[in-house]
Structure 1
Amino acid sequence: MKTSRWIAYFECALAMAMGGGVVVAGKFLATTFPVFLAAGLRLIIAAPILTMMLLVREGRLPRLQAREACWLFACSFGGIFMFTVFLLLGLRYTTAAESGIITSTVPIFTTLVAVVFLKEKLGGWGVVAVLLTMIGILVLNVADGDFSSARGPDPWLGNGLIFGCVIGETLFTIAAKLASGRLSALAIAAYVNIFGLITFLPFAIYQALHFDFSAPGWTSWSAIVFMGVGISVFQFMIWFAGVSKVSGSTAAVFTGVMPVSAVLLSYAVGGERFIWPHLVGMVCIVASILAVTYSHASAREVEARGAA
């Protein structure tokens, strides 16, 4: 039992570490591929693989109810379309390190959306999480002066665009909760990628007609494969294998691995330079994730006591 638990922890940590690689891969793609073509190529790889996995495991594509189709399209629009477009545009103006830290604020903003629209309670630790997030983002965006050479050509614009990823991923998270009552996680992943491919395909074809496919180097093509197979397929499988064996609050803690991974990979693979605001921002975001996780756990404990 103890060994199984540690394996689950490793799977959750590995999946989030791979998630940190998304922004580094996106950095390679942002300057070599047009935005819609890059996304289309990723989905051309991912959607058929996930569909075949679903057919093997469940025997068929489950028929969608109208409500489920709407929520899954919202998932795709937020988590695939908005996230990819804002990520690749933003990375032209800011660094992978700062992008990874900002995109890791999704749990906090998802909590805020749940408070506003789903009437959930925030609680004291939730307030702490929001304040820590604001401090972390503020530190990143005021780090000019001696750090300007390590921050990208227009970090305010770039980080603002990256925040669009957070909005998109928040929409994905909320819509996935509303769509996940009857469908398996694999079915949701397959349909989200299929809808994403349908959305991107017309724009991708148009950009492909005017693109020189011999221009990108092996790093850019490797980034496409990593995004399509490594993230859309393998990361999903590893994350689902891990979270199926631990509590929701425990799984949420591991999302703090993502900003750490993004920053370290941006230095090791992306060749970016370390600056202390990255460390401050990363610590604030990880602490905010822990705070909001503790807030959710406390709320569930209070509800359990009330029910008893």
Structure 2
Amino acid sequence: MNTSHRRSAYACLALSMSLVGSYVALSKPLAAIFPVLLLAWLRFGIGAIAMLRWLRKPADEAPLSRRTQGLLFLESLFGNFLFTICMVTGVSLTSAVMAGVTMAAIPAAVALMSWLFLRERVAARTWLAIALAVAGIGLYALSRPDAGANSAASAPASPQAWLGQMLLVGAVLCEAFYAVIGKRLTTSLGPKRITSIVNLWGFALSTPFGLYLAWHFDFGSVAWSIWGLLLFYALAACVWTVWLWMTGLRNVPASQAGTFTVLLPISAAVVGMCVLGERVTSMQALAFAIALLGILVATWPGRKRLAQHTSASGASPF
């Protein structure tokens, strides 16, 4: 892979995770109005309409094998459906601080699963980048105001906190599976085709819940501004971020791509500061700098290519 392709892949991965963080921060008003599974159903429905043309099979693409069809289903099950349920429910039973600390493990989980399932050789520099990413996001979460002296007042005293923590760990594993399975899919399908089919599976999985919740929901009480925000959320979550992520994964090992997930909480915090009026302390700024240093370490060009293609490295469970 030449330098221009590598830089383009890095840009796609960075923009994808930055968009994820942005729409997560801006989705707070949506989550306050729509039930989670109804919101997911509406999101996938809008995405399906936007990507109707992407569903068409290109002339040079081979018919989908049963294995590929199964991977597409698993990609949507883990990356869309189960991740949303685990994350939202886990936060409700613990705290946002605990979620931030737990999500810091995503780069390491992606690297480990890439080594196990894709047979990728994870370079020492990538492990260093992962360590910096985990340290940065962990420091950010622990330096939040509600993680200090006021933590007792702000954290919910839930007797099911252990269950919430397990669900957050499940969300980390779901995100890691999403990256690893996505890497395998990019060897046989184009990014647009993957994005559209995965979204269609998400729509199918959420339809039973969405129809039930829609029957009991008062859509007439929703303001036009909220519908506009929903449109942006759906296009960003279902179309732009997935397409960018799959495009970047075509030319970057999944383990290296995982370091870019640190941009999710960083971009969410920046949007919260610039749009929602939240404040970022000097300690949090230092945490962001450490996390960004991890990306710099992972992507800095060296004598040898950091990108290790897995297509010729032997059989894989995926």
Structure 2: distance between partners of 1:150 and 1:264: 25
Q: Which residue of structure 2 lines up, in the alignment, with residue 145 of structure 1?
A: 148
SS of equivalent to 2:219:
coil
Distance 1:14 1:174, change over 3 A: closer
- Aligned mates of 1:270, 1:163 — CA distance in 2: 28
Structure 2: runs of 5+ lacking an equivalent: 310-318
Contact 1:125 1:295 in 2 (8 A): no
Residue identity opposite 1:128 in structure 2: L
Question: CA–CA distance in 1 between the matches of 2:5 and 2:118?
Answer: 35
Uncovered stretches (5+) of structure 1, i.e. residues with no partner: 304-308
Contact map agreement 1:100 1:258 (CA 8 A) in 2: no
- For 2:53, the equivalent position in structure 1 comes to 52
Tell me the TM-score normalized by structure 1.
0.74
Letter in 2 for 1:224: L
Q: What is aligned with 1:64?
A: 64
Deviations 1:259-290 (A, max 9, x none): 43221002223343324453344333333334
Q: Structure 2: how far apart are the matches of 1:50 and 1:302?
A: 31
Counterpart-to-counterpart distance in 1, 2:154 and 2:133:
19
Cα distance in 2 between the residues matched to 1:196 and 1:135? 33
In the alignment, structure 1 residue 264 sits paired with structure 2 residue 270: yes
Equivalent residues of 2:115, 2:122 under 8 A apart: yes
**Partner of 2:176 in structure 1?**
170
- Report percent identity of matched pairs: 28
The answer to whether 1:248 aligns with 2:249 is no
How many residues end up aligned between the 2 structures? 297
CA RMSD of aligned residues (A): 4.3
**1:54-107 deviation line (CA, Å, top 9, x unaligned):** 43x837997421101111111001111123223444565655x99678657644
Give the drift of 1:291.
3.7
Please state which structure has a larger fraction of its residues in helix.
1
Shift of residue 44, structure 1, vs aligned partner: 0.6
TM-score (norm 2): 0.72
Q: CA deviation at 1:301?
A: 7.6
| Aligned ranges 1:71-220 → 2 under 5 Å | 71-90=71-90, 92=92, 94-95=95-96, 103=103, 106-143=106-143, 144-146=147-149, 148=151, 161-218=167-224, 220=226
**What's 2:238 paired with?**
232
- CA distance in structure 1 between the aligned counterparts of 2:206 and 2:133, rounded to whole angstroms: 32
Look up the SS of the partner of 1:64 in the other structure.
coil
When residues 136 and 13 of structure 1 are mapped into structure 2, their CA distance, relative to the original with a 3 A threshold, is closer
CA contact (8 A) 1:78 1:169 kept: yes
Q: Kindly indicate whether the alpha-carbon contact (under 8 Å) linking 1:101 and 1:262 is maintained by their aligned counterparts in 2.
A: no
